[in-house]
Amino acid sequence: MMAGSVVTRALQPFAALGAFFITTSEVVGGMGVMFGRIISRLVRFAFDRSELLKNLYKMGVKSVPIVVVTALFTGGIMVIQAAPLVQRYGAHGLLGWGAGFGTLREIGPLLTALMISGRVGANNTAELGTMVVTEQIDALRALAIDPISFLIVPRFIGIVTTLFLSTVFADALALFGAAYAGTGILGVEPMVFYNGLTSGLLGLGDVFHGLIKSVVFGIVIALASCQFGITTSGGAPGVGRAVNSTVVVSAAGIFVLDYIVSFAIG
Amino acid sequence: MIELSGITKSFDRPVLRGVNLRVPDGCLYGLIGPGASGKSVLLKIIVGLIRPEAGTVTIRGRDIFAMSDLELQEFRKQIGMLFQNNALFDFMTVADNIAFPLRRLFNLPEDEVRQRVAERLNVVSLPGFEDRLPSGLSGGQKKRVGVARATVAQAPIVLYDEPAAGLDPVTSQKIFDLLRAEQRAAGATVIMVSSDLDRLLTVTDRVGMMYRGQLIFDGTTRQAQESADPYVHQFVHGIPEGPL
């Protein structure tokens, strides 16, 4: 009996590791199946246009204030972090390049994705989860409506489009914020900042680098939020768990894919 | 004809255990039984929302679980359903909820859609509720909107899960009479689950009683009312003492 419990205890880490891999496989597999279903509707244009417009407004337009605040302050923070080095080496002319490089390739898409994940992804899961537990998804199916075409595809397009456009907007605003923070903190004139941006050290490739990431992050957020929403079970507590899972998996997915995409496209 | 053969389904525990059921065309069939006896799950299996572990569901000669997803989706246009919790789309107004099947499935002109929505709302005694949201309705009002949505497309097969739950006795009787009249007029095949036996049995042609996942009685309404089976007798007459 004692020996049995010792063996059981010794095996617990392996059991936990196995459970982790099974759960991860379920999540990734479920998101993969969901992606396949979405693509099969997308290629047939089998999705609801009015739901798409509604979602673009709800996800995109209503996210503008939070994107504006985040982006402006992100630009300012970039300058505050760079300030000691810029002052020590007198590299005022490189401030535009430094802020632009970091913002366009990394910070802009990353922080915008995290903000959209928290605002749009979590809300998307909560809505879908509530529809599941109140049988609204079943009602759609009973009414001969495909929930993937009616609900999921418009939300998928809405999230990916929102994140892409928000990143473009956030990049521009972050650079604007950085330029004026540079003036206020380091006395770097906006024109000097602009020259640093356009001196040739930065190119369109750096802009596309960040925008490719925004599309990848958008796909992750959309898949995670739809998958956890549509598989919600267990009433109101289940909706809470699904939202929590969406936020965690989206954030983890964003960082993992950020590494992979950065590595892949250089 | 709706025909179920050997339907078996478990979740955490067995819910349906080999249910066999035949509902003839044009019949208003009442499905009764104590709570958690599997009635609602059976309705969801009939409409193909839940797949049973064993057994077949044949509707109008077609095995619905042998169909592809797209075929089943198309086939569901012949079925109307009212859910136990109404399942109204909470992001749509009352009018949009009722109009939803008409707009999505039949592409009717908007004038006709509005006219039919207004007619349905009149029938369920909710005129002028078009622009209200479901979140602003009482339980009984939601139920009546659910009834309006389930009946607006005039499907040849309609499944009602507790159509009168939460309604006062007068409205409840009105709803049962309405559903009966519409079923008669359309010749529809209807399965109705209800705990309101006093009113349900005034409109049904046949009755089936579920108990612990099995259909323990199937017969005419009169046979149910006169049954000597101790379970059926106790349930139909609402007697506190007995095997249930």
Calculate what percentage of chain B has a pLDDT beyond 90: 83
pLDDT class of A152 with cuts at 50, 70, 90? very high
User: Quick one: pLDDT at residue A226?
Assistant: 97
Q: Cβ B79–A138 below 8 Å, yes or no?
A: no
User: Quick one: pLDDT at residue A201?
Assistant: 82
Q: How far apart are CA A120 and CA A258, in angstroms?
A: 20
Q: Cβ B81–A142 below 8 Å, yes or no?
A: yes
pLDDT class of B5 with cuts at 50, 70, 90? very high
Average pLDDT, chain B: 93
Higher-confidence residue: A186 or A218? A218
Which residue of chain B comes nearest to A48, CA vs CA?
B104
Taking 60 as the threshold, does the pLDDT of residue B81 lie above it? Answer: yes
- Range from A96-110, A247-261, B127-141, B162-176 carrying the lowest mean pLDDT: B162-176
User: Quick one: pLDDT at residue A197?
Assistant: 86
How many Å lie between the alpha carbon of A251 and the closest alpha carbon of chain B? 28
Q: Cβ A142–B105 below 8 Å, yes or no?
A: no
User: Quick one: pLDDT at residue B164?
Assistant: 87
Q: In this structure, is residue B40 part of a structural domain?
A: yes
- For B:27-56, CB contacts with A below 8 A are 44, 47-49
Instruction: For residue B100, list chain A residues with Cβ-Cβ distance below 8 A.
Output: 143
Find out whether A63 and A116 touch, Cβ atoms under 8 Å. yes
Average pLDDT, chain A: 93
How many Å lie between the alpha carbon of A139 and the closest alpha carbon of chain B? 6
Question: Tell me, what CATH number does B127's domain have?
Answer: 3.40.50.300
Q: Cβ A134–B81 below 8 Å, yes or no?
A: no
How many Å lie between the alpha carbon of B226 and the closest alpha carbon of chain A? 36
How many Å lie between the alpha carbon of A143 and the closest alpha carbon of chain B? 7
User: Quick one: pLDDT at residue A2?
Assistant: 64
Here the ipTM equals: 0.90
Q: Cβ B49–A138 below 8 Å, yes or no?
A: yes
User: Quick one: pLDDT at residue A163?
Assistant: 97
If phi > 0 it is left, if psi is from -120 to 50 it is alpha, else beta; for residue A188 that is beta
User: Quick one: pLDDT at residue B95?
Assistant: 97
Let me know the angle formed at the C-alpha of B148 by B145 and B151, rounded to the nearest 5 degrees: 150
On whether any CB of chain A is under 8 Å from the CB of B87, the answer is yes
On whether any CB of chain A is under 8 Å from the CB of B177, the answer is no
Q: In this structure, is residue B14 part of a structural domain?
A: yes
Q: In this structure, is residue B229 part of a structural domain?
A: yes
Which residue of chain B comes nearest to A144, CA vs CA?
B73
Nearest by CB to residue B73, choosing from A134, A139, A146, is A146
* Structural domains counted in chain B: 1
Q: In this structure, is residue B12 part of a structural domain?
A: yes
What are the residue ranges spanned by the domains of chain A?
34-265
A201-239 residue pLDDT tens? 888 999 999 999 999 999 999 999 999 999 999 999 999
A88-140 residue pLDDT tens? 888 888 888 989 999 999 999 999 999 999 999 999 999 999 999 999 999 99
Q: Cβ A136–B90 below 8 Å, yes or no?
A: yes
B87-99 residue pLDDT tens? 999 999 999 999 9
A28-78 residue pLDDT tens? 999 999 999 999 999 999 999 999 999 999 999 999 999 999 999 999 999
**What global pTM score does this model have?**
0.89
Q: How far apart are CA B183 and CA B187, in angstroms?
A: 6
Taking 60 as the threshold, does the pLDDT of residue A1 lie above it? Answer: no
Q: Cβ B87–A138 below 8 Å, yes or no?
A: yes
- Range from A144-158, A235-249, B102-116 carrying the lowest mean pLDDT: B102-116
Tokens of B165: 């739950």
Q: How far apart are CA B217 and CA B199, in angstroms?
A: 19
B158-190 residue pLDDT tens? 999 999 888 888 888 988 998 999 899 889 999
Q: Mutation target for B interface from A143, A146, A148, A151: give the one with most B CBs within 10 A.
A: A143
Q: In this structure, is residue B140 part of a structural domain?
A: yes
Q: In this structure, is residue B164 part of a structural domain?
A: yes
Q: In this structure, is residue B82 part of a structural domain?
A: yes
User: Quick one: pLDDT at residue B152?
Assistant: 93
Q: In this structure, is residue B244 part of a structural domain?
A: no
**Which residues span the domain enclosing B221?**
2-237
How many Å lie between the alpha carbon of A29 and the closest alpha carbon of chain B? 20
